[in-house]
Structure 1
Amino acid sequence: MPVISRLFSVVLRIAEVGFGAVVAGIIGHYLHQQSNGYGDPWKGREIYTEVIAGLSILLGLLWLIPTAHTFFIWPLDVILALAWFAAFGLLVNALDTEACGGIFDWGGLWNDNFCSRWKAAEAFSFLSAIIWLVSGALGIYFVWRVDRTRFHRNGYVYGRYNV
Protein backbone atom coordinates (compact mmCIF):
# COMPACT_ATOMS: atom_id res chain seq x y z
CA MET A 1 0.00 0.00 0.00
CA PRO A 2 1.42 3.40 -0.88
CA VAL A 3 2.77 5.54 1.90
CA ILE A 4 0.70 8.55 0.83
CA SER A 5 -2.65 6.82 1.38
CA ARG A 6 -1.54 5.55 4.80
CA LEU A 7 -0.34 9.01 5.80
CA PHE A 8 -3.53 10.61 4.52
CA SER A 9 -5.57 8.04 6.44
CA VAL A 10 -3.72 8.85 9.67
CA VAL A 11 -4.28 12.59 9.15
CA LEU A 12 -8.00 11.97 8.56
CA ARG A 13 -8.27 9.80 11.68
CA ILE A 14 -6.57 12.45 13.80
CA ALA A 15 -9.01 15.05 12.45
CA GLU A 16 -11.95 12.72 13.19
CA VAL A 17 -10.84 12.30 16.78
CA GLY A 18 -10.18 16.02 17.20
CA PHE A 19 -13.49 17.18 15.72
CA GLY A 20 -15.37 14.57 17.73
CA ALA A 21 -13.63 15.75 20.91
CA VAL A 22 -14.57 19.38 20.26
CA VAL A 23 -18.23 18.51 19.72
CA ALA A 24 -18.24 16.16 22.72
CA GLY A 25 -16.77 18.89 24.91
CA ILE A 26 -19.26 21.57 23.86
CA ILE A 27 -22.34 19.35 24.02
CA GLY A 28 -21.07 17.70 27.22
CA HIS A 29 -20.84 21.15 28.79
CA TYR A 30 -24.51 21.75 28.02
CA LEU A 31 -25.52 18.32 29.31
CA HIS A 32 -23.62 19.05 32.53
CA GLN A 33 -25.36 22.40 32.92
CA GLN A 34 -28.73 20.80 32.33
CA SER A 35 -28.06 18.07 34.88
CA ASN A 36 -27.32 20.78 37.47
CA GLY A 37 -30.66 22.45 36.85
CA TYR A 38 -29.51 25.22 34.53
CA GLY A 39 -31.26 25.49 31.19
CA ASP A 40 -33.78 23.18 29.62
CA PRO A 41 -34.01 19.50 30.51
CA TRP A 42 -32.05 17.04 28.40
CA LYS A 43 -33.07 16.69 24.84
CA GLY A 44 -32.56 13.65 22.67
CA ARG A 45 -30.63 15.64 20.07
CA GLU A 46 -27.90 16.49 22.55
CA ILE A 47 -27.59 12.94 23.84
CA TYR A 48 -27.52 11.59 20.26
CA THR A 49 -24.78 14.04 19.30
CA GLU A 50 -22.77 13.13 22.39
CA VAL A 51 -23.06 9.41 21.60
CA ILE A 52 -21.97 9.94 17.98
CA ALA A 53 -19.04 12.07 19.17
CA GLY A 54 -18.02 9.36 21.65
CA LEU A 55 -18.22 6.66 18.99
CA SER A 56 -16.17 8.82 16.64
CA ILE A 57 -13.47 9.34 19.23
CA LEU A 58 -13.35 5.64 20.12
CA LEU A 59 -13.38 4.31 16.56
CA GLY A 60 -11.03 7.02 15.33
CA LEU A 61 -8.49 6.04 17.98
CA LEU A 62 -8.90 2.33 17.25
CA TRP A 63 -8.52 2.82 13.52
CA LEU A 64 -5.66 5.28 13.90
CA ILE A 65 -3.23 2.41 13.59
CA PRO A 66 -2.38 2.44 9.88
CA THR A 67 -2.93 -1.10 8.70
CA ALA A 68 -4.27 -2.10 5.32
CA HIS A 69 -7.33 -3.66 6.91
CA THR A 70 -8.55 -0.29 8.19
CA PHE A 71 -9.28 0.63 4.57
CA PHE A 72 -11.81 -2.20 4.31
CA ILE A 73 -14.04 -0.71 6.99
CA TRP A 74 -15.17 2.07 4.66
CA PRO A 75 -18.87 1.18 5.12
CA LEU A 76 -18.57 2.13 8.79
CA ASP A 77 -16.87 5.38 7.80
CA VAL A 78 -19.81 6.21 5.53
CA ILE A 79 -22.34 5.23 8.22
CA LEU A 80 -20.60 7.49 10.74
CA ALA A 81 -20.56 10.30 8.17
CA LEU A 82 -24.32 9.94 7.75
CA ALA A 83 -24.74 9.88 11.53
CA TRP A 84 -22.72 13.11 11.77
CA PHE A 85 -24.86 14.72 9.06
CA ALA A 86 -27.93 13.76 11.12
CA ALA A 87 -26.34 15.26 14.24
CA PHE A 88 -25.58 18.44 12.29
CA GLY A 89 -29.21 18.63 11.21
CA LEU A 90 -30.40 18.14 14.77
CA LEU A 91 -28.09 20.88 16.05
CA VAL A 92 -29.25 23.26 13.32
CA ASN A 93 -32.87 22.44 14.09
CA ALA A 94 -32.28 23.20 17.77
CA LEU A 95 -31.50 26.83 16.96
CA ASP A 96 -35.07 27.38 15.72
CA THR A 97 -36.18 27.97 19.30
CA GLU A 98 -33.27 30.26 20.20
CA ALA A 99 -32.67 33.91 19.32
CA CYS A 100 -29.36 33.24 17.60
CA GLY A 101 -30.18 34.55 14.16
CA GLY A 102 -30.55 32.47 11.04
CA ILE A 103 -28.97 29.13 10.37
CA PHE A 104 -26.20 30.63 8.28
CA ASP A 105 -25.87 33.83 10.29
CA TRP A 106 -22.31 33.32 11.48
CA GLY A 107 -21.88 36.79 12.95
CA GLY A 108 -20.91 37.10 16.60
CA LEU A 109 -18.89 33.90 16.72
CA TRP A 110 -16.25 35.50 18.90
CA ASN A 111 -18.62 36.16 21.79
CA ASP A 112 -18.62 33.80 24.73
CA ASN A 113 -22.30 33.00 24.78
CA PHE A 114 -24.68 30.15 24.06
CA CYS A 115 -25.12 30.95 20.37
CA SER A 116 -21.43 31.12 19.55
CA ARG A 117 -20.64 27.85 21.31
CA TRP A 118 -23.63 26.09 19.78
CA LYS A 119 -22.69 27.27 16.29
CA ALA A 120 -19.14 26.05 16.91
CA ALA A 121 -20.59 22.62 17.72
CA GLU A 122 -22.60 22.80 14.50
CA ALA A 123 -19.54 23.71 12.45
CA PHE A 124 -17.38 20.97 13.92
CA SER A 125 -20.13 18.37 13.50
CA PHE A 126 -20.36 19.30 9.81
CA LEU A 127 -16.58 19.15 9.45
CA SER A 128 -16.55 15.78 11.16
CA ALA A 129 -19.18 14.47 8.74
CA ILE A 130 -17.12 15.63 5.77
CA ILE A 131 -13.92 14.08 7.17
CA TRP A 132 -15.64 10.74 7.82
CA LEU A 133 -17.04 10.84 4.27
CA VAL A 134 -13.60 11.54 2.80
CA SER A 135 -12.19 8.69 4.87
CA GLY A 136 -14.87 6.38 3.46
CA ALA A 137 -14.10 7.55 -0.08
CA LEU A 138 -10.41 6.84 0.51
CA GLY A 139 -11.34 3.34 1.66
CA ILE A 140 -13.50 2.78 -1.43
CA TYR A 141 -10.65 3.97 -3.64
CA PHE A 142 -8.19 1.68 -1.88
CA VAL A 143 -10.48 -1.35 -2.22
CA TRP A 144 -11.07 -0.53 -5.89
CA ARG A 145 -7.33 -0.13 -6.52
CA VAL A 146 -6.45 -3.39 -4.74
CA ASP A 147 -9.22 -5.23 -6.60
CA ARG A 148 -8.08 -3.82 -9.94
CA THR A 149 -4.43 -4.66 -9.24
CA ARG A 150 -5.29 -8.25 -8.35
CA PHE A 151 -7.39 -8.64 -11.48
CA HIS A 152 -4.64 -7.41 -13.77
CA ARG A 153 -1.90 -9.31 -11.98
CA ASN A 154 -3.29 -12.84 -11.82
CA GLY A 155 -6.91 -12.81 -12.89
CA TYR A 156 -9.81 -12.18 -10.60
CA VAL A 157 -9.81 -14.28 -7.44
CA TYR A 158 -12.84 -14.37 -5.20
CA GLY A 159 -12.39 -14.14 -1.47
CA ARG A 160 -10.42 -12.07 0.96
CA TYR A 161 -8.09 -9.40 -0.32
CA ASN A 162 -4.45 -10.29 -0.14
CA VAL A 163 -2.87 -7.08 1.15
Structure 2
Amino acid sequence: MLLADLASIILRLAELAFAAIVAGLTGNYLHAVRGSSTWDQSRFIYTEVVAGISILLSIIWLFPFSGSFIHWPIDLIISILWFVSFGLLVNWLDGSCGNVFDWSGIHINSNNTCSEWKANIAFCFLSAICWLASTLLGLYWVRHHRTATRAPAVSHRRRWYRSRV
Protein backbone atom coordinates (compact mmCIF):
# COMPACT_ATOMS: atom_id res chain seq x y z
CA MET A 1 0.00 0.00 0.00
CA LEU A 2 2.97 2.26 -0.53
CA LEU A 3 1.24 3.72 -3.58
CA ALA A 4 -1.79 4.66 -1.48
CA ASP A 5 0.45 6.34 1.10
CA LEU A 6 2.23 8.30 -1.62
CA ALA A 7 -1.05 9.34 -3.22
CA SER A 8 -2.37 10.39 0.18
CA ILE A 9 0.66 12.60 0.84
CA ILE A 10 0.40 14.21 -2.60
CA LEU A 11 -3.32 14.87 -2.16
CA ARG A 12 -2.82 16.32 1.33
CA LEU A 13 -0.07 18.63 0.06
CA ALA A 14 -2.32 19.79 -2.79
CA GLU A 15 -5.20 20.32 -0.34
CA LEU A 16 -2.91 22.38 1.89
CA ALA A 17 -1.61 24.49 -0.99
CA PHE A 18 -5.04 25.13 -2.52
CA ALA A 19 -6.58 26.01 0.83
CA ALA A 20 -3.72 28.42 1.58
CA ILE A 21 -4.19 30.14 -1.78
CA VAL A 22 -7.94 30.49 -1.26
CA ALA A 23 -7.39 31.74 2.30
CA GLY A 24 -4.91 34.34 1.03
CA LEU A 25 -7.08 35.63 -1.82
CA THR A 26 -10.27 35.68 0.24
CA GLY A 27 -8.51 37.18 3.24
CA ASN A 28 -7.10 39.94 1.03
CA TYR A 29 -10.61 40.77 -0.16
CA LEU A 30 -12.04 40.70 3.37
CA HIS A 31 -9.25 43.02 4.51
CA ALA A 32 -10.03 45.43 1.68
CA VAL A 33 -13.74 45.63 2.56
CA ARG A 34 -13.37 45.68 6.35
CA GLY A 35 -15.94 47.83 8.05
CA SER A 36 -18.74 46.75 5.74
CA SER A 37 -21.65 44.63 6.87
CA THR A 38 -20.66 41.10 7.82
CA TRP A 39 -23.96 39.87 6.42
CA ASP A 40 -22.93 41.11 2.98
CA GLN A 41 -19.58 39.35 3.30
CA SER A 42 -20.95 36.08 4.72
CA ARG A 43 -20.01 33.95 1.70
CA PHE A 44 -16.42 35.12 1.96
CA ILE A 45 -16.30 34.51 5.70
CA TYR A 46 -17.68 31.02 5.04
CA THR A 47 -14.97 30.42 2.42
CA GLU A 48 -12.30 31.65 4.81
CA VAL A 49 -13.54 29.31 7.57
CA VAL A 50 -13.60 26.33 5.20
CA ALA A 51 -10.08 27.19 4.06
CA GLY A 52 -8.89 27.41 7.67
CA ILE A 53 -10.44 24.06 8.59
CA SER A 54 -8.92 22.52 5.46
CA ILE A 55 -5.47 23.88 6.29
CA LEU A 56 -5.67 22.49 9.82
CA LEU A 57 -6.93 19.04 8.81
CA SER A 58 -4.56 18.66 5.88
CA ILE A 59 -1.57 19.44 8.13
CA ILE A 60 -2.76 16.99 10.78
CA TRP A 61 -3.48 14.22 8.27
CA LEU A 62 -0.40 14.86 6.14
CA PHE A 63 1.63 12.25 7.97
CA PRO A 64 1.25 8.81 6.35
CA PHE A 65 -0.29 6.73 9.10
CA SER A 66 -2.89 4.11 8.44
CA GLY A 67 -5.23 6.05 10.69
CA SER A 68 -5.27 8.91 8.18
CA PHE A 69 -7.26 6.76 5.77
CA ILE A 70 -10.17 6.12 8.09
CA HIS A 71 -11.16 9.79 8.03
CA TRP A 72 -12.80 9.46 4.63
CA PRO A 73 -16.26 10.59 5.90
CA ILE A 74 -14.74 13.86 7.10
CA ASP A 75 -12.93 14.20 3.77
CA LEU A 76 -16.31 13.86 2.07
CA ILE A 77 -17.84 16.54 4.29
CA ILE A 78 -14.93 18.92 3.61
CA SER A 79 -15.31 18.25 -0.11
CA ILE A 80 -18.99 19.15 0.07
CA LEU A 81 -18.10 22.32 2.00
CA TRP A 82 -15.66 23.27 -0.77
CA PHE A 83 -18.26 22.64 -3.47
CA VAL A 84 -20.69 24.88 -1.58
CA SER A 85 -18.02 27.57 -1.34
CA PHE A 86 -17.36 27.21 -5.06
CA GLY A 87 -21.05 27.63 -5.80
CA LEU A 88 -21.36 30.66 -3.52
CA LEU A 89 -18.44 32.41 -5.18
CA VAL A 90 -19.69 31.61 -8.68
CA ASN A 91 -23.12 32.92 -7.71
CA TRP A 92 -21.57 36.12 -6.33
CA LEU A 93 -19.54 36.67 -9.50
CA ASP A 94 -22.77 36.25 -11.51
CA GLY A 95 -21.13 36.55 -14.91
CA SER A 96 -19.66 40.00 -14.25
CA CYS A 97 -16.25 38.74 -15.34
CA GLY A 98 -17.56 36.53 -18.12
CA ASN A 99 -17.89 32.79 -18.00
CA VAL A 100 -16.32 31.29 -14.89
CA PHE A 101 -14.21 28.81 -16.82
CA ASP A 102 -13.22 31.25 -19.58
CA TRP A 103 -9.58 32.03 -18.91
CA SER A 104 -8.89 34.14 -22.02
CA GLY A 105 -7.80 37.70 -21.34
CA ILE A 106 -6.42 36.93 -17.89
CA HIS A 107 -2.94 38.17 -17.16
CA ILE A 108 -0.77 37.30 -14.20
CA ASN A 109 0.85 40.67 -13.59
CA SER A 110 -2.17 42.93 -13.90
CA ASN A 111 -4.46 44.66 -11.47
CA ASN A 112 -7.41 42.79 -12.89
CA THR A 113 -9.75 41.74 -10.08
CA CYS A 114 -11.45 39.28 -12.42
CA SER A 115 -8.18 37.36 -12.57
CA GLU A 116 -8.07 37.13 -8.78
CA TRP A 117 -11.69 36.01 -8.51
CA LYS A 118 -11.35 33.40 -11.22
CA ALA A 119 -8.20 32.09 -9.54
CA ASN A 120 -10.02 31.96 -6.21
CA ILE A 121 -12.93 30.07 -7.76
CA ALA A 122 -10.59 27.70 -9.59
CA PHE A 123 -8.65 26.84 -6.44
CA CYS A 124 -11.91 26.29 -4.54
CA PHE A 125 -12.92 23.80 -7.22
CA LEU A 126 -9.49 22.11 -7.23
CA SER A 127 -9.56 21.81 -3.47
CA ALA A 128 -13.01 20.22 -3.60
CA ILE A 129 -11.76 17.70 -6.16
CA CYS A 130 -8.68 16.85 -4.06
CA TRP A 131 -10.79 16.30 -0.94
CA LEU A 132 -13.12 14.10 -2.98
CA ALA A 133 -10.14 12.11 -4.27
CA SER A 134 -8.95 11.69 -0.67
CA THR A 135 -12.40 10.40 0.18
CA LEU A 136 -12.28 7.82 -2.59
CA LEU A 137 -8.74 6.79 -1.66
CA GLY A 138 -9.70 6.39 2.00
CA LEU A 139 -12.81 4.43 1.09
CA TYR A 140 -10.75 2.15 -1.14
CA TRP A 141 -8.16 1.63 1.60
CA VAL A 142 -10.76 0.84 4.24
CA ARG A 143 -12.63 -1.58 1.94
CA HIS A 144 -9.40 -3.30 0.92
CA HIS A 145 -8.20 -3.74 4.51
CA ARG A 146 -11.58 -4.86 5.76
CA THR A 147 -11.66 -7.77 3.30
CA ALA A 148 -7.99 -8.61 3.91
CA THR A 149 -8.36 -8.87 7.68
CA ARG A 150 -11.52 -10.93 7.83
CA ALA A 151 -11.23 -14.28 9.54
CA PRO A 152 -11.34 -17.26 7.22
CA ALA A 153 -14.63 -19.06 6.99
CA VAL A 154 -15.04 -22.05 9.30
CA SER A 155 -15.32 -25.22 7.27
CA HIS A 156 -17.45 -27.10 9.79
CA ARG A 157 -19.79 -26.01 12.54
CA ARG A 158 -21.22 -27.94 15.38
CA ARG A 159 -24.95 -28.00 15.21
CA TRP A 160 -26.74 -26.32 18.03
CA TYR A 161 -28.94 -29.31 18.87
CA ARG A 162 -26.09 -31.76 19.38
CA SER A 163 -24.53 -31.36 22.74
CA ARG A 164 -21.35 -32.91 24.08
CA VAL A 165 -22.59 -34.32 27.31
Normalising TM by the smaller chain, what interval?
Answer: 0.7 to 0.9
Residues of 1 paired with 2:77 and 2:96: CA distance? Answer: 32
Indicate yes or no: 2:15 matched with 1:20.
no
1:75/1:136 contact within 8 Å kept: yes
Residues of 1 paired with 2:132 and 2:87: CA distance? Answer: 16
Q: Percent identity?
A: 47
In the TM superposition, 1:76-91 aligns within 5 A as 76-91=74-89
Letter in 1 for 2:14: A
1:12/1:131 contact within 8 Å kept: yes
3-state DSSP of counterpart to 1:154: coil
Shift, 1:100, TM fit: 1.0
Report the TM-score when normalising by structure 1.
Answer: 0.86
The equivalent of 1:118 in structure 2 is 117
Shift, 1:150, TM fit: 1.4
The equivalent of 1:61 in structure 2 is 59
Q: Tell which deviates more after alignment, 48-57 or 110-119.
A: 110-119
Residues of 1 paired with 2:39 and 2:70: CA distance? Answer: 41
Letter in 1 for 2:105: G
The equivalent of 1:109 in structure 2 is 106
Residues of 2 paired with 1:143 and 1:21: CA distance? Answer: 29
Report the TM-score when normalising by structure 2.
Answer: 0.85
The equivalent of 1:75 in structure 2 is 73
Gap runs ≥5 in structure 2? 154-165
Task: Return the structure number with greater helix share.
Answer: 1
The equivalent of 1:145 in structure 2 is 144
Residues of 2 paired with 1:136 and 1:9: CA distance? Answer: 10
3-state DSSP of counterpart to 1:35: coil
Max radius of gyration: which structure?
A: 2
Residues of 1 paired with 2:39 and 2:113: CA distance? Answer: 16
The equivalent of 1:158 in structure 2 is none
The equivalent of 1:32 in structure 2 is 31
Letter in 2 for 1:109: I
Shift, 1:116, TM fit: 0.5
The equivalent of 1:161 in structure 2 is none
Residues of 2 paired with 1:25 and 1:103: CA distance? Answer: 20
Residues of 1 paired with 2:74 and 2:39: CA distance? Answer: 32
